[in-house]
């Protein structure tokens, strides 16, 4: 299906994904490897194609949150190691993990014993990642209990310890005090393990923010999510590596009309024209991922010109002020995020008091994902639907 048949869509620049992976890998010292985090459909970018691009650019691992996310990648023919970063406990979940060669996170002794029993019954052994809670207080065994937990798992023959890892709570803060405390706790666990003669094949703790601000803790793997999509976890980290946003959101104008002074636009009459003006209706709304909270606060791009969004953003549509664009027509493309709009996910997040991760993950799947490939020979864009 060609782009011109879509009312609204998301464009994904896979060359930007590859560029970002290469840039992040340039910060690593061998043998540290990069795990591309592609959960939540690769932060809304399309998990299969992003995973393939990341692997092509040098990622050794993929990280997802759920078993179906891992199965989707396996069914697409992806053979790279896939870590499940969320908790899994059910019998059917464990069987699926074994069948699809996924690598689960084991968070506590009870979960480990359930895994061991199920795997014993089906005659399977799987590699596992052991999660240590050093201060995130989400998943993982408390760091004070980590040694006993790891020893327990070590004696379960159906579980092969592949890595021991933890996760930072504040790596994107300027104040690194708590991050340093978590690091100390993690290092203490690793030192105690080694004193017991236990050497996990891999240890890892860095997300994108941590890998940017402290190269001393890259260890064996870094887990990069936001960075591979071209965004920075915090403003103070922007000068450390060259990243390119990979996502652009576009939609088409479906009607152009003249309205007179005093005319209200959309639900709640949140916008009332102060003078005669020309408005256009655009086929995208909050059900597609354009936050309703941006109503009357958003500027978008039409024919290379910035214009204001007006009135309340509705489920499937919104309006824009095109008074000063004489040749605007039905079917013209409006860029909302990325590209000519000049808007970034960080900009929207700041307006809404949230984070860029939430913005990226908010674009719904009724928006087709379109791969954008820049052909070197003629510089024309080739658009391929994901």
- pLDDT tens per residue across span 163-197: 999 999 999 999 999 999 999 999 999 999 999 99
pTM given for the model: 0.93
Q: Give the least confident one: 2-11, 99-108, 130-139, 147-156.
A: 2-11
What residues form the annotated binding site? Answer: 138, 315
Prior bond of 31 cis (ω within 30°): yes
Instruction: Give one DSSP letter per residue of 81-125, joined into a string.
Output: -EEEEEE---HHHHHHHHHTT-EEEE-SHHHHHHHHHHHHHHT--
Residue 53's domain comprises 14-229
286 catalytic per annotation:
no
Q: The tokens of 23 are what?
A: 């840039």
Q: Among residues 229, 264, 281, which one ends one of the domains? A: 229
How many residues are present in the chain? 386
Q: Indicate if 163 and 71 belong to the same structural domain.
A: yes
- Give the count of beta carbons closer than 10 Å to the beta carbon of residue 377: 5
- Give the count of beta carbons closer than 10 Å to the beta carbon of residue 58: 16
Q: Indicate if 23 and 136 belong to the same structural domain.
A: yes
278 catalytic per annotation:
no
Residue 3 predicted with pLDDT over 80: no
What whole-number distance in Å separates Cα of residue 14 and Cα of residue 11? 9
Going by pLDDT thresholds of 50, 70 and 90, the confidence category of residue 4 is low
Q: The tokens of 368 are what?
A: 């087709």
49: domain CATH number is 3.20.20.10
What residues form the annotated binding site for substrate? Answer: 138, 315
In a domain, 266, yes or no: yes
Among residues 150, 164, 100, 98, the alpha carbon closest in space to that of 125 is found at 98
In a domain, 119, yes or no: yes
Rounded mean pLDDT, 52-81: 98
Q: Indicate if 175 and 137 belong to the same structural domain.
A: yes
What whole-number distance in Å separates Cα of residue 271 and Cα of residue 353? 22
The catalytic residue among 151, 199, 267, 306 is: 267
Among residues 25, 26, 20, 71, the alpha carbon closest in space to that of 47 is found at 71
The bridge status of strand 247-259 relative to strand 333-337 is antiparallel
Among residues 121, 129, 198, the alpha carbon closest in space to that of 163 is found at 129
Residue 39 predicted with pLDDT over 80: yes
pLDDT value of position 192 = 97
Q: Indicate if 208 and 284 belong to the same structural domain.
A: no
In a domain, 322, yes or no: yes
Q: Indicate if 164 and 282 belong to the same structural domain.
A: no
Number of domains in the chain: 2
């Amino acid at each position: 299906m060609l782009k011109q048949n879509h009312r609204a869509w998301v464009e994904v620049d896979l060359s930007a994904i590859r560029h970002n992976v290469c840039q992040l890998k340039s910060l690593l010292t061998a043998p540290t490897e990069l795990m591309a985090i592609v959960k939540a459909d690769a932060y809304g970018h399309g998990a299969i194609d992003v995973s393939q691009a990341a692997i092509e650019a040098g990622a050794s691992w993929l990280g997802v949150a759920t078993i179906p996310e891992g199965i989707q990648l396996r069914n697409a023919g992806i053979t790279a190691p896939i870590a499940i970063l969320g908790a899994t406990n059910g019998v059917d979940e464990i069987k699926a993990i074994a069948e699809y060669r996924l690598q689960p996170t084991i968070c506590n002794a009870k979960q480990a014993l359930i895994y061991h029993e199920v795997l014993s019954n089906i005659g399977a052994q799987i590699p596992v990642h052991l999660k240590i809670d050093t201060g995130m207080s989400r998943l993982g065994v408390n760091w004070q209990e980590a040694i006993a937990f790891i020893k327990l798992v070590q004696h379960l023959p159906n579980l092969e310890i592949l890595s021991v890892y933890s996760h930072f709570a504040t790596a994107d803060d300027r104040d690194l005090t708590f991050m340093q405390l978590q690091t100390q706790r993690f290092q203490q666990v690793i030192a105690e393990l080694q004193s017991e003669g236990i050497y996990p094949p891999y240890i890892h703790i860095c997300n994108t923010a941590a890998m940017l601000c402290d190269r001393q803790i890259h260890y064996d793997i870094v887990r990069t999510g936001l960075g591979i999509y071209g965004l920075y976890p915090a403003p103070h980290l922007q000068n450390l590596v060259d990243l390119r946003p990979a996502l652009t959101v576009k939609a088409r104008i479906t009607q152009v009309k003249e309205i007179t002074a005093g005319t209200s636009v959309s639900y709640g009459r949140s916008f009332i024209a102060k003078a005669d003006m020309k408005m256009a209706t655009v086929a995208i709304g909050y059900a597609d991922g354009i936050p309703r909270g941006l109503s009357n606060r958003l500027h978008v791009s039409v024919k290379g010109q910035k214009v204001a969004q007006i009135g309340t953003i509705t489920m499937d549509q919104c309006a824009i002020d095109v008074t000063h664009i004489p040749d605007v027509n039905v079917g013209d493309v409006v860029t909302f995020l990325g590209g000519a709009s000049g808007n970034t996910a960080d900009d929207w997040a700041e307006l809404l008091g949230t984070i860029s991760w939430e913005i990226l993950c908010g674009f719904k799947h009724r928006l087709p994902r379109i791969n954008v490939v820049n052909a070197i020979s003629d510089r024309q864009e080739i658009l391929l639907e994901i």
